[in-house]
Copies of this chain bind each other. A is one copy, B any other.
Amino acid sequence: MKRVTIYDVAKEAGVSLATVSRVINGLQIVREETRVRVETAIDKLGYKPNAIAQGLALQKTTSIALLVPEASFGYTGQIINGLIDVAKIYKYSIVLHTMTEGIVDIKDVVDDIIKSRVDGVIIYNDKLMMNELTELSKYQFPIVIIGNPISDKQIASVYVDIEMAVYELTVKKLNQDINNRIGIIQDRKNDYTTAQMVSGVQRAYKERGIDDNGYIEIPQEYRRSYDYFTDTIEDLKYNFLIANRDSQAISAINAANEKGISVPDDLEVVCLIDTKYNSMVRPRLSSFAIPSYDLGAVAMRVLTKMLNDDEVEDKEIELSYLYTPRQSTKN
């Protein structure tokens, strides 16, 4: 099929291209009869407006860039789902960018985004990347950050207050028994989140005068946290572990089980992200149930507001988690 343009439709319908344009954009100032003629021509020729040309003419692409850390869709998937569902409503299409640390130069990714002239950008990344953010701002992109609370002229964010979540849990456990010790499992791919969690425990510890940093750093020589826990779990000074991802928590649980340490009796384990696997492992894994889907959906919603120049009242939107006890904690 030959490329059919608006000119072809115009000729076929015996009108000017301006009229065709009006019809495809649903402008009301077209006489019923001509509209039908044009629509018939469109169907007959199988014409589909060229979004690229529209983009040029309108200075607007109706597409947004989504930037996620390498395609670790395991725990990004739900965010993307939420985002896509909302994007569909507003007819935005999504250009997917990933950044594998060390492999892809973020500069290049930002460059690509700028060149692509998307209308806005959504970034989910644990790293803050202030440089890249300001670079994007220079080019006037409305940006929504998922994960950490920052805001600026063109920047909004959607996040969960993890520091507080962990703090509150720690306080609660300490109230139950002052000898309880919470430990945060390092997540190398999510430094910021790890830091937030550690900060939460430390704050609670400090208030109670407990001298502990609450941080379980996994030495570089261990490629998998499972191996680390297998080697160390018997000597662990913590009796309550908080991980970011389900997989880390599961590693700890497996290692504990295999060393005869009972979960949750001797050791409690919980993670932040709630995936379907939480309910599939035994014991079932408790979680904070960070609302990933909503993070994505809200982010996209905020972005569309910004794109419409609607005033966004609150530019740092906090979503709450839903602590979901299962079998890996005593509760």
Contacts and interface: CB of A to CB of B under 8 A. Distances in A.
Interface of A: 1, 46, 48-53, 55-56, 61, 63, 66, 70-74, 76-77, 80-81, 84, 88, 93-98, 104, 111-112, 114-117, 138-140, 226, 247, 250-251, 254, 257, 276-277, 280-282
A72 B277 CA distance: 14
A81 B71 contact: yes
Contacts of A112: 93
Contacts of A226: 280
Nearest to A54: B115
Contacts of A55: 52
Contacts of A61: 52
Give this chain's copy count: 2
Given A1-B140, A94-B96, A97-B93, A80 B88 contact: no
B74 A70 contact: no
Given A247-B280, A280-B254, A115 B49 contact: yes
B280 A48 contact: no
B282 A115 contact: no
Which of A1, A61, A70, A282 is packed against the most chain B CB atoms within 10 Å?
A282
Nearest to A75: B73
Nearest to A58: B52
Contacts of A116: 51-52, 93
Contacts of A140: 1
A257 B280 contact: no
Given A48-B115, A95-B95, 8 more contacts: A46-B138, A48-B139, A50-B117, A52-B56, A71-B81, A93-B112, A95-B96, A257-B282
B48 A71 contact: no
